[in-house]
Amino acid sequence: MKVLLSIKQEYLLNAFMIFFIVHSTQIGVGIQGYQRIIYSDSHQDAWISVILSGLYASLIVYIIIKTLELYETSDIYGIQHDVFGKLIGKLLNVLYIFYSLISFFVVLRNYMEVVQAWIFPEVPLWFLTTSLLMLVIYGIHSGVRGIAGIAFFSVTLSLWLLILIIYPLQHAKWTYLLPVLEADLIPLLKGVYHMTFTVIGFEILYTVYPYMKDKNKVQKYAQLAILFTTCIYTILMMVAIVYFSGAQLERTVWATLSLFKVVRLPFIERFEYVAITFWMLIILPNLILYMWAACRGMERVFTFSAKKSVWLFSSIIFIITQFVISRTQINMMNGYFAKFAFVVVFCYPLILFLAAWLKKKFTKKKEQSV
């Protein structure tokens, strides 16, 4: 496998597109109900846990990009192959492909659960699965520039939803935020850990980076995306705290969606139906980018066409989806995935950076001695 990639000029993206790619992968199904989980750890200081998780995510993004900069035009598959060798590198690459597919499946299944619970309880699961998978397959076939375009429109066309937080703020009780800093360090860190499922997505940098034109600007736009995402999560956390009482918030599974129930417009009675339907545009980049990362891995590691891989993976996911039905199964799946994602996204990049840096350092010394 070639470590360095040679990307044609027509496939390259402007660096500012990283902002939309990173932000669109971070805003997904986790935002629909993360407040209850974080509040159960750090209570009214839950918004501090959200900020701390954003800071840690920013650090990991910095490490990821520094790792990629060591190779300039390689992705995670090439880096792992170069650093760990053919056998271990291949094993780690297969594991990352598996992680991308699991991420895809978790986002897909959680969104379909919301649709069935809130809007269409009678619609068959196979129909929802097929509809979303066909959109993903179409997105993959549009190429990397088309995928970046979907991420761009997903972000820009959904910004208006933020304005609607004005409605629940009309009933806010700001005293629910007091006292500040009552939670100890351990509960705050537990909240940071439980934000894993919500804030992941920026690891897509590992596969997108080689397609960037001005690679020296990627760090800036990626950090801006993390900042923007953290601000949104912090605001929504605070709005949920001041709108719901503590007991209510701990019982509300989808707090963000429940906030939309407050919205009253003359021409729409149940606005949450609009929000959930519109949410498909928000999660679509999540699905497409994770599937693209997995298909890209198949192409890099096994020289198996990405366009064939997407059909293979879609068929497998369609079958598996039919067996994960109950809320208990979905909760169990989310719990196991969050632990797996924490290792892959928040721990492993530190190890990979150190290993890649040492590899480059010793290789350079060896070349100089010769």
Residue 200: helix, strand or coil by DSSP? coil
What CATH superfamily classification does 9-361 receive?
Answer: Amino acid/polyamine transporter I (1.20.1740.10)
Higher pLDDT among residues 87 and 261, named by residue: 87
* 128-155 as b/e: b if 16+ CB within 10 A: bbeebbeebbebbeeebeebbbbbbebb
Structure token pair of residue 200: 């992941």
Measured CA to CA, the distance from residue 228 to residue 204 in angstroms comes to 17
pLDDT of the residue at 126: 93
Global pTM? 0.94
Residue 219: helix, strand or coil by DSSP? helix
Question: How sure is the predictor about 262, in pLDDT bands with cuts at 50, 70 and 90?
Answer: confident
Q: Would you kindly state where each structural domain of the chain is located, as residue ranges?
A: 9-361
Give the number of other Cβ atoms within 10 Å of residue 172's Cβ.
15
How much is the average pLDDT of 342-351? 96
- CB-count exposure of residue 171 (10 Å: 0-12, 13-18, 19+): exposed
Per-residue pLDDT tens over the stretch 23-44:
999 998 888 889 999 999 999 9
pLDDT of the residue at 147: 95
Measured CA to CA, the distance from residue 126 to residue 320 in angstroms comes to 11
Given a cut of 70, whether residue 368 has pLDDT beyond it is no
Per-residue pLDDT tens over the stretch 3-23:
888 888 888 999 999 999 999
Residue in the structure block whose two tokens are 């053919």: 86
Given a cut of 90, whether residue 366 has pLDDT beyond it is no
